[in-house]
Amino acid sequence: MPDMDPETTHTEPAVDEEASLFSTMDLLLFSVIVSFVVYWFMSRKKPEPIPEFKKLDTPTLTTRETSFIEKMKKTGKNIIVFYGSQTGTAEEFANRLSKDAQRYGMKGMVADPEEYSMGELSRLSEIKNSLAIFCMATYGEGDPTDNAQDFYDWLQENDDENLSGLNYTVFGLGNKTYEHYNAMGKYVDKRLEQLGATRIFDLGMGDDDGNLEEDFVSWREQFWPAVCEHFGVEASGDESSIRQYELKEHTDINMNKVYTGEIGRLKSFEVQKPPFDSKNPFLAPVTVNRKLNKAGDRHLMHLELDITGSKIRYESGDHVAVFPTNDSALVNKLGQTLGVDLDVVISLNNLDEESNKKHPFPCPTTYRTALTHYLDITHPPRTNVLYELAQYASDPKDQENMRKMASSSPEGKALYQSWVLDASRNILAILEDMPSLRPPVDHLCELLPRLQARYYSIASSSKVHPNSIHICAVVVEYETKTGRTNKGVATNWLKNKLVTDNGHKSAVPMYIRKSQFRLPFKSTNPVIMVGPGTGIAPFVGFIQERGWLKQQGKEVGETVLYFGCRHKNEDYIYQEELEGTEKNGVLTQLNVAFSRDQDHKVYVQHLLTKNKEHVWKLIHTDNAHIYICGDAKNMAKDVQTAFYEIAEQVGGMTRTQAVDYVKKLMTKGRYSQDVWS
């Protein structure tokens, strides 16, 4: 306490001084605060250029971005070709029809329905002699392609839409081996008519199981005369080649601005940013790449892709899309045959400056990158490519044959079928077998279709493998009629994706495509899975998931698998895993058909009918869900027939009743197929 006294007496005068000083400070502080408040209010008012801000969002910009009508008016176009494409073929056909328009004295533009407001179709009548063409592919089990999904939804939801001023025609792309052949083309054609639009030419239907190219060419040959007649115009008769892009060679360019295989954003493989999709794939490291079969001349493989940190989510039954590259030996040979430096940096720029598609593939890039990453050089070229390239053949006989193959004459069709399709001649084989044909490489790059992503059924469950996606595939390799060896692009590329390649981790550009191929919502529902060969892929995931559900203490219904392969000692893939899951009760029944281990062939459908009583009980009494995966052309049809027979023999139905019964199962989502041809 005595220590405190001197301090107290010492501070008192100081308090008096501060009190007198405070009044001055108060005034000063007050004026500073007032000035600050005034300044704050004034300065706050200034960023009131919110109207200025809104200028960025004016209707004109939206119009320019999503209005195909305004774009057509601005560029003098009267024909618009929309495409719904999953593998690029419908887009390719759309481009050909748009190009054709010029030959008939009209002007066409190609449009992705995903990029435009399709509600504007009713305004197309504002443009004289206007026409909308729809090239619509069907994907999976009668579904629209990804880019046509919104358009499909719009057609379904807008019953009061009036399209009475719209002239249209539809060409559908499908495959007869599938249950819902050309469903999307048929739906668009019928729905547009229901909404009041005028069909000016019959629905065209291309069958990829037959000859899609021939179907398209035959339809197109009749379509244009009908258009000319409808609008009272005459064909210009100009059959000359029409270039869509012009070449620009870059001699002095910063290589950091050159595309090296990226699908969308430049340097996207160096700096990866989610979300990952078809325009921004994730570069997934390969952690496992092993051969599945013990013997035989085929190569069946199991790959595992690491998706750690990608935020990618998937479910059992989904598909993984991978972006392969062409064989470098094939690319080099193409460069040598054409006598070009493949490392020249180029851009192909659209001559139509208003087009949304500025380049046929990401530019600037090199010819080597374009032919390796962006262009399809392994499929037999379509007739329009032959037609356009014919002018570069110095031998008149070669020119004549190429033009003949591109015509719709029976002789020309037969020649194209035998010389190109049946002989599986790709562009390199054609150049080798026609030494007089040496087109400029830039025109060839303009004409070749884009190299597409390949889809595989995922062979894992995210419940068990949340950071890994598994692929099961068979390497495609065969000898052609000309004695050449043709190799499947994606499967051979995947085969060579070793876990470490010269000390570097191999990676695969990929994304997920959602599927309707799903396990039942109720785990108590039994499942019957039929998947011979690599058709087992999604069922590996299904079995893993049912096992996981059991571990969680859930009640799980019967899990029955019908698998098939050639020989037990050769290609019984996943044998240890399957027999292990049967042993621990996850797989309640494992049925394997070894087709060539005895004198007569035994397939999965034979085992189904052999177990018909059990199969019928599961379906008819226990509400089982049926899943088929694999070959669409033969297996899926034969299996479906086996189910008809079971319904007849055990269920006492007639064939008509059996067919209706299976159709009802499909409608209810209890009969699902993931098939390919």
pLDDT at 46: 39
340, amino acid identity: V
**CATH of the domain spanning 68-231, picked from 3.10.110.10, 3.40.50.300, 3.40.50.360, 3.90.800.10:** 3.40.50.360
User: What is the chain's percent helix, strand, coil content, to nearest 5?
Assistant: 45, 20, 40
Is 328 annotated to bind ligand? Answer: no
Taking CB atoms within 8 Å and a gap of at least 24, the contacts of 521-525 are 522/557, 523/549, 523/554, 523/555, 523/556, 523/557, 524/555, 524/556, 524/557, 525/557, 525/622, 525/623, 525/624, 525/625
Is 251 annotated to bind ligand? Answer: no
Is 390 annotated to bind ligand? Answer: no
Q: Give the residue from 654, 659, 656 showing the smallest Cα distance to 643.
A: 659
pLDDT at 460: 98
Is 595 annotated to bind ligand? Answer: yes
Which residues carry out catalysis?
457, 629, 674, 676
Domain covering 527-675 assigned CATH 3.40.50.970 in the classification: no
Residues forming CATH 3.40.50.80 domain(s) in the chain = 527-675
pLDDT at 33: 54
Residues forming CATH 2.40.30.10 domain(s) in the chain = 276-323+453-515
The topology under which CATH files domain 276-323+453-515 is Elongation Factor Tu (Ef-tu); domain 3 (2.40.30)
Residues 68, 98: Cα–Cα separation, whole Å: 15
pLDDT below 50 — which residues of the chain? Answer: 1-29, 32, 37-64
pLDDT at 61: 35
**CATH of the domain spanning 325-452, picked from 1.10.579.10, 3.40.50.2000, 1.10.150.20, 1.20.990.10:** 1.20.990.10
Residues 138, 144: Cα–Cα separation, whole Å: 6
pLDDT at 52: 34
Is 178 annotated to bind ligand? Answer: yes
pLDDT at 57: 36
pLDDT at 105: 83
Residues forming CATH 3.40.50.360 domain(s) in the chain = 68-231
* Distances from the Cα of 642 to the Cα of 146, 526, 661, angstroms: 33, 19, 13
Is 9 annotated to bind ligand? Answer: no
Residues forming CATH 1.20.990.10 domain(s) in the chain = 325-452
